[in-house]
Amino acid sequence: MQLQADYFTAYHNLKLTRDDKGVLVAEFHSNGGPFIMSAQAHTGLVDAFYRISQDRANKIVILTGAGGEFITDVDWSSFGDVADPGVWSQVHDEGVQALENIANIRVPVIAAIEGRAHVHSDYALLASVIVAAEGATFQDVAHFSAGVAPGDGIFTTWSYRAGAGRAEAFLLNPQPLPAATAREWGVVAEVVPNGKALSRARELAELYLKAPEVTRRNTRIHFIQPLKERIVREVGYGLSLEGASSADLVKSMRAKSESVARRGKVA
């Protein structure tokens, strides 16, 4: 039996389903397929995570993605001119609020990762436990490799889970990190056969439900508190740095484009 709250159908990029035991599955998607982050989704997820966190009918939350992936890429054009302070102000605020709202989910959170977690893997690292398929990979294609400082929480979460040295090397030379290596680093709790991440997450949810509700809630609150404190301290500042680097990237791209145009006129 699926139980539905009024907000379950409100979001274009997050499919929400909850069973009669209160296990909520939040599935990222784009038109039912693998999720590509867009400006619209970025805005919607802030409210979605807030509503999830406030709904006490949610006893366990599982984060996963559609189409055998977690989050694959970014629709950069949807964000508009990120060199515009007004545009970046919204990106900044939503970036902080999304992470804080996930951290404020006060029940155990399980991330079930299939395929590519190549954008916003920080969402997964805010889970209590990550279950990853053998073929899953972690990468950060949205920051340093794209010419932007990784300030939106990706460093905060990876340095907390894996250690600062590993996080810095991972983000400065972003290559696909296999699930097995992520497990060695302590980021992933379990590696399972491909296609089995969600089913294993459901098994863990059943296990966690054996504990009394207040125990479950208070354990999540206790475990996430140190990471939540780092998010509050670091992510707003990090997103300001990311915004400045985004503006500089746009400036340099425009300069190159103008230079090419001038050369074309001379020719």
Residue 5 covered by a domain = no
Residue 8 covered by a domain = no
- Cβ pair 48, 34 in contact under 8 A: no
Amino acid of residue 90: Q
Residue 9 covered by a domain = no
- Cβ pair 27, 45 in contact under 8 A: no
Q: In 3D, which of 71, 80, 173, 192 has the Cα closest to residue 129?
A: 192
**Degrees, nearest 5: CA angle 115-159-110:** 45
Residue 3 covered by a domain = no
Residue 236 covered by a domain = yes
B/e letters for 44-59, b = 16+ CB within 10 Å, e = fewer, are bbbbbbbbbbebeebb
Residue 179 covered by a domain = yes
Q: In 3D, which of 203, 19, 28 has the Cα closest to residue 129?
A: 203
Which CATH number is 112's domain given? 3.90.226.10
* Start-to-end CA span in the chain (Å): 69
pTM here is: 0.94
Residues 259, 64: Cα–Cα separation, whole Å: 44
Distances (CA, A) of 191 to 34, 161, 194, 251: 21, 16, 9, 43
Which residue, chain included where needed, has tokens 């970014």? 74
Residues 85, 92: Cα–Cα separation, whole Å: 10
Q: In 3D, which of 169, 167, 189, 166 has the Cα closest to residue 179?
A: 189
**Degrees, nearest 5: CA angle 247-116-143:** 15
**Predicted confidence pLDDT, tens digits, the chain (267 residues):** 556 789 999 999 999 999 999 999 999 999 999 999 999 999 999 999 999 999 999 999 999 999 999 999 999 999 999 999 999 999 999 999 999 999 999 999 999 999 999 999 999 999 999 999 999 999 999 999 999 999 999 999 999 999 999 999 999 998 999 999 999 999 999 999 999 999 999 999 999 999 999 999 999 999 999 999 999 999 999 999 999 999 999 999 888 877 766 676 655
Instruction: Kindly report the backbone phi and psi dihedral angles of residue 2, in degrees, each rounded to the nearest multiple of 5, phi listed first.
Output: -100, 130
Residues 4, 2: Cα–Cα separation, whole Å: 6
Residues 257, 267: Cα–Cα separation, whole Å: 15
Residue span of the structural domain in which 145 resides: 14-266
Residue 82 covered by a domain = yes
Helix (H, G, I), strand (E, B) or coil at 53: helix
Residue 91 covered by a domain = yes
Residues 222, 108: Cα–Cα separation, whole Å: 11
> Six-digit token pair at 111?
């991330």
What kind and span of H or E run contains 168? helix 164-172
Task: Give the total number of structural domains in the chain.
Answer: 1
